[in-house]
Structure 1
């Protein structure tokens, strides 16, 4: 597949890195230094130029592209690039936007702006945040099979009852599969006698209710009560969307916004959210509003420095779970290293969503684990699949060894993925695999 990526920032570079080994990739960016670096570091053709320029897009030969991804930091620029690409050829176009309004317009009329698929960074980030809330010790969550299956990654601390147990001892939840263990930045496929240790990140796949029960065993002290009190710090688009989605879940979050006019606007639109107007770095004001009694604090301010400060302040107040938005991808590990429970980078979330579209049509949903060293993907089984009509224990030899069948849904019902389970045509199968095996697995199933 021939892919043109316009915009070589964090989003574009991450996508290019994931595609370079198996596709013909051309990257366009105005930054000459970034272009030079990409030409040396990746197997791509990087071109310096303005992606809005017809001449630049013709130089990149957009007319012969199969896929065009507009991933600059400017919404209007990305929409214009997609529109121009449709004039020059018939590439499938993907636009990255931040404003939810553009997404709503596109959803009303798919194909609007010349965009075939639109990815909204702010909404995706809010959705990721809300998925994690309520699962103590969870560092990543994704849903598959129309919500029937959930993947969650949990970090074990020294107080977790699971530390010292084997996977066989810990595996006591209906339809739940231990898919992987992330240890020392390496992904291991668990065996029954694999022993869990402090600092391990355990990846499980199963129905949401079983994942939730497992979460209670990972960190029972944090899970003594269901999540009820959530503070959202920052009334920008990510904070607003997070509060809105929490309202949809039946919660009544509290939101802090320093700008008076924005606070009033948010208060008028979110009827079940209690909005406060003050500076979130004011510890006295936070204490007055019982900040330390919150179950979860989501920090989505305008700068990484402020987000880190308020997150650590929340920990000092005694908040159980802190979730911070990190605009600079390199800071994500730093945030978590100094005590923030979960750091979410909107650019990484966006790159992951766009990367799903590079898979074969059968791949329905994709999630990444540990800096893309492992993947969780959902596939629909057809008559040509290596899995169809055979028990899992017989099908596995046809696939790379590092593949785990995490879940199966059939006619919108979960099927237990045991060794003797026969996979049928039309089943949706959720697989956990090491990234190096992705292409082989996709081709086989």
Structure 2
């Protein structure tokens, strides 16, 4: 399995690293010599060249590749190179060869083209991933519950949420999961556990839970979030369904944030220091929205924040290109009375730092892009990848149950899944619509189901052997 990655920046290198761990053959392409030097530490072929040029793709072996993933910061480069890659493969292998091109795209117009199906018609590209839209969605999901330390959407309404167990979790703390299951009807599946001494595991029925444990729950739908918060003994303040939102920044990310919240019926205030950017937002499609206020001013102007009655806002979010400026802006809003604060950052290392500052929730754009692309890849390709950012050494694996597989027709309890491995979701497509089912032991598996399984890293080989992967 050969995979070409166009763009060897942070996302490209992270993607290559994850795929190399799965035993894939990976080729990285970039025309920036500094980026190339950074990528050469990976055990992958690294080629310097322009991904929009046919000779570069052919040198990288596009005709023998099953995937081409374009993840540069330029939508145009990504779309052109994906279309070119498809043409190269078609020319050498014909239409029957299994090949997928994935483009990282952020332009709202291009995303609309993709959603309507037009992009596929005029470029042949069926798969796009939006860093901005996925970041906004993850941020909004995480801001729903202040106790959450991480929220991962696996796709098709399946989520992993991470939070700490407190002493007020009367039915979970100081008991094992077998006892807890008797006391709690429909206890959500716990897929990962990290003790205070940093040891990690996929818990079984005999695992004892104590306050301070960090837990990762698998759940279907956001409606289950409040229950998970209550079960773990965390407190949750009531949050309005249509909050009043303050956004720092009117760049592309800030504009998309504003548009998303306005679509949900929220009143939105945007503060932008750059007059040209503020005017651009005012002249956009949402500029005249009755629920939108646009202010040209400094993000940390205390008098300005007083004038707009900042404490009346339920939520303050920073969407700035400068991470540190964004952190400073939301911290000031928090000090002035805003209860919930959010950040969309560039540097993933800052996410843990800002959580310790009592900022409600933060996401890193590049980490979101990496997760989204891996999810897209693993919806077609079996593979193991580290899904739990704050609980290391626990692997999530996506694996198909193909036609004729020994598991077809069996219930999960009859499939002899290796001990320590836990099937948490079954994703099933019916009439071209994919749904997520819980991984209960009495669920019968059908051909073309996809299993989402969690396990310690040392169990990956035995699980792959049991599945015939």
TM-score (norm 2): 0.79
**Offset of residue 325 of structure 1:** 1.1
Structure 1 residue 151 corresponds to structure 2 residue 156: no
Other-structure match for 1:354: 373
Other-structure match for 1:368: 387
Corresponding pairs, count: 440
Other-structure match for 1:74: 74
Other-structure match for 1:261: 279
**Offset of residue 48 of structure 1:** 2.0
Against the structure 1 CA distance between its residues 132 and 413, is the aligned structure 2 distance closer, same or farther, given a 3 Å change threshold? Answer: same
Against the structure 1 CA distance between its residues 377 and 61, is the aligned structure 2 distance closer, same or farther, given a 3 Å change threshold? Answer: closer
**Offset of residue 429 of structure 1:** 5.2
**Offset of residue 127 of structure 1:** 1.5
Structure 1 residue 244 corresponds to structure 2 residue 244: no
Structure 1 residue 136 corresponds to structure 2 residue 136: no
SS at match of 2:454: strand
CA distance in 1, matches of 2:314, 2:403: 48
Q: Deviations over 1:370-397 (max 9, x none)?
A: 17744556767565455444443443xx
**Offset of residue 7 of structure 1:** 0.9
Structure 1 residue 98 corresponds to structure 2 residue 116: no
Q: Deviations over 1:110-132 (max 9, x none)?
A: 43335342112111111111222
CA distance in 2, matches of 1:20, 1:415: 30
Structure 1 residue 38 corresponds to structure 2 residue 58: no
Deviates more, 1:7-16 or 1:290-299: 290-299
**Offset of residue 251 of structure 1:** 3.6
CA contact (8 A) 2:384 2:395 kept: no
Other-structure match for 1:189: 202
Other-structure match for 2:86: 86
Against the structure 1 CA distance between its residues 387 and 206, is the aligned structure 2 distance closer, same or farther, given a 3 Å change threshold? Answer: farther
CA distance in 1, matches of 2:423, 2:39: 36
CA distance in 1, matches of 2:343, 2:299: 14
CA distance in 1, matches of 2:407, 2:85: 39
CA distance in 2, matches of 1:165, 1:231: 41
CA contact (8 A) 2:423 2:453 kept: yes
Other-structure match for 1:340: 359
**Offset of residue 274 of structure 1:** 4.3
Deviates more, 1:176-185 or 1:43-52: 176-185
Deviates more, 1:319-328 or 1:217-226: 217-226
SS at match of 1:285: helix
CA contact (8 A) 2:4 2:67 kept: yes
Against the structure 1 CA distance between its residues 273 and 189, is the aligned structure 2 distance closer, same or farther, given a 3 Å change threshold? Answer: farther
Against the structure 1 CA distance between its residues 200 and 252, is the aligned structure 2 distance closer, same or farther, given a 3 Å change threshold? Answer: same
CA contact (8 A) 1:20 1:43 kept: yes
SS at match of 2:160: strand
Other-structure match for 2:95: none
Deviates more, 1:400-409 or 1:75-84: 400-409
Against the structure 1 CA distance between its residues 18 and 51, is the aligned structure 2 distance closer, same or farther, given a 3 Å change threshold? Answer: same
SS at match of 1:80: helix
- Give unmatched runs, 5+ long, in structure 1: none
CA distance in 2, matches of 1:114, 1:415: 32
Q: How does 1:7-406 map to 2 (within 5 A)?
A: 7-21=7-21, 22-39=23-40, 41-90=41-90, 91-107=99-115, 108-111=117-120, 112-143=122-153, 146-147=156-157, 149-156=158-165, 164-166=173-175, 168=177, 172=184, 174=186, 176-183=188-195, 187-192=200-205, 193-198=207-212, 200-218=214-232, 221-226=235-240, 228-258=243-273, 259=275, 260-265=278-283, 267-268=286-287, 270-359=289-378, 361=380, 368-370=387-389, 373-376=393-396, 384-385=404-405, 387-395=407-415, 398-406=416-424
Cα RMSD for the two superposed structures:
3.7
CA contact (8 A) 2:424 2:438 kept: no
- Give unmatched runs, 5+ long, in structure 2: 91-98
CA distance in 2, matches of 1:137, 1:386: 41
